[in-house]
Amino acid sequence: MTKKEIEKLIKQYILPTHSNYYLHKNILYKPFGGDLFIKGYAFDAGGRNPDAMHVRYFIMPLFVVEESISISYSQELYYSYREGLFNLKRSRNHVWDVRIASRDDAFKLINIIMGEQGEPVLAKFHTAKNVYNAMKKGRKDNIRVYEDCAYASVLFASRRKQDTMLRWLIREAEKETQYDYIVAIRERTELLLSRSAQVERIGILKEFANKTISNLKFSHLMPFT
């Protein structure tokens, strides 16, 4: 199933119920946090099965420069079922069968599960601090997540806290194998650290976000001026 085919299905089955989101190909999204973040849902083909789909809700900072959607914080939607009449244990299925014969029922359930599993979580995200608090547990295990947290701290934390996180990120980047993306993280972070005023640092984050916005080509994401 192509992204174009998925987009048609989202328009038909999902958008009428979730009209407060924008649609770009297989991504439903809306900006928040001063338009420096997006949140929403990614609909992906189910691997080898052409009639299968995976759906996950996500949060993405735009100031972490990316060529496409990069999701450090996400969770797949699932439905529960019992195997056998007398089995009380419920199993979780993350694969949605959207073949034509069962499509109406599948998308009806997806809409319900989005309301039960996705919307209550996404509704909690309004600010950079919300994102930071949700992602901070995983920051020391993943340099990408730490980058998200360190840059988000620029928007709300004290200068001391910002500097501590930015310096740590630079040190960790220097320890890593110097792949292009690691070098880019270090250089971006050094640029942020070179500015002392919060307003200057936020201006740099907006420049980073403009690169991501240009790369994503989402029609409802406007560049910062």
Closest C-alpha to 44, from 74, 64, 20, 65: 74
User: What does pTM read for this prediction?
Assistant: 0.91
Cβ atoms within 10 A of the Cβ of 223, count?
A: 13
Q: How much is the pLDDT for 30?
A: 97
Least confident segment among 43-57, 88-102, 139-153: 88-102
Chain centre distance of CA 154? 19
Buried b (16+ CB within 10 A) or exposed e, 96-127: bebeeeebeebbeebeebbeebbeeebeebeb
Least confident segment among 24-33, 98-107, 123-132, 192-201: 98-107
Confidence class of residue 82 from pLDDT cuts 50, 70 and 90? low
Q: How much is the pLDDT for 204?
A: 98
